[in-house]
Amino acid sequence: MTTWIGSAVLGALRAVSVEPVMLVDGACNQAMLLFIENVQMNKICSINLGLPDQVCNNLSEHPEEDVLVQREFSVFAFYNSIIMSIIPLIFVLFMGAWSDKYGRKIPLLMTLIGHVMYAGGYLLSNWQTSWPVEVIYFVTVLEALGGGNVGLLSTHSQLSVVPRGSVGTLVGALVIKYGGYNLALLLVLLAYLSAVLYVVFVIKESHGPFAKTALQAHGSAKQEPSPDSKEVSKLRMASDFFNWRRVVESFKTAFRQREGNARKFIMAIILSNMLRRVARGFFMYMFVRRALSWEATDYGYWVTYRNLLAAIGSLFLVPILTKMLSFTDASLAVLGSLSIMGEYVCYSLVNGVSQAFLMWLGPPVGVISNASVIAFRSLSTKLVSKEEKGRISAVMAAMNGLMPMIAYAAYSPIYYTTVDTLPAAQFFFGASLNVLIMIIFIIMQLMSVSSSYETKDFEAGGKKDKNLFKDFRNKSTVTLKSIARTLSGPVGETPSSKARQDEKNKAQLA
Judge whether 195 and 116 are in contact, CB under 8 Å. Answer: no
pLDDT of the residue at 55: 94
Q: Is 433 helix (H, G, I), strand (E, B) or coil?
A: helix
pLDDT of the residue at 220: 45
Contacts of 38 (CB under 8 A, 6+ apart): 176, 181, 296
Contacts of 241 (CB under 8 A, 6+ apart): 94, 95, 98
Cα–Cα distance measured from residue 158 to residue 155, given in angstroms and rounded to the nearest whole number: 10
pLDDT of the residue at 213: 54
Q: Tell me the longest C-alpha to C-alpha distance in the chain.
A: 73
Q: Is 201 helix (H, G, I), strand (E, B) or coil?
A: helix
pLDDT of the residue at 211: 62
pLDDT of the residue at 416: 95
pLDDT of the residue at 451: 47
Domain residue ranges of the chain, discontinuous segments joined by +: 16-210, 249-478
Judge whether 177 and 35 are in contact, CB under 8 Å. Answer: no
| Nearest C-alpha neighbor of 186 from the set 42, 35, 383 | 35
pLDDT of the residue at 244: 81
pLDDT of the residue at 506: 44
* DSSP element (H, E) containing 246: helix 244-255
Tens place of pLDDT per residue across the chain (510 aa): 667 666 655 555 555 567 788 888 888 988 898 899 999 999 999 999 999 999 999 998 999 999 999 999 999 999 999 998 888 887 777 776 677 677 778 888 888 999 999 999 999 999 999 999 999 999 999 999 887 766 565 444 333 334 455 778 888 888 998 999 999 999 999 999 999 999 888 887 766 566 665 444 444 444 455 555 555 666 777 777 777 887 787 788 888 888 777 888 889 999 998 999 899 878 999 999 999 999 999 999 999 999 899 888 888 888 888 888 888 888 889 999 999 999 999 999 999 999 999 999 999 999 998 888 888 888 877 887 777 777 777 788 778 778 889 999 999 999 999 999 999 999 999 999 999 999 999 988 887 654 444 444 444 443 443 444 455 555 555 554 555 444 444 333 333 334 444 444 444 444
DSSP state of 93: I
Domains 16-210 and 249-478 share a fold: yes
Domain 16-210 annotated CATH 1.20.1250: yes
Q: Which amino acid is at 188?
A: V
Q: What share of the chain is helix, strand, coil (3-state, %, to 5)?
A: 75, 0, 25
pLDDT of the residue at 412: 94
| Nearest C-alpha neighbor of 393 from the set 262, 492, 257 | 492
**Cα angle 281, 283, 289; round to 5:** 125
| Nearest C-alpha neighbor of 166 from the set 341, 33, 36 | 33
Q: Which amino acid is at 433?
A: L
Give the bridge partners for 217, in sequence order.
495
CA atoms within 13 A on the CB side of 396: 30
- Per-position DSSP letters for 96-153, written without gaps between them: HHHHHHH-SHHHHHHHHHHHHHHHHHHHHHHH-TTS-TTHHHHHHHHHHHTTGGGGGG
Is 79 buried (19+), middle (13-18) or exposed (0-12) by CB count in 10 A? middle
The CATH class that applies to domain 249-478 reads: mainly alpha
pLDDT of the residue at 218: 45
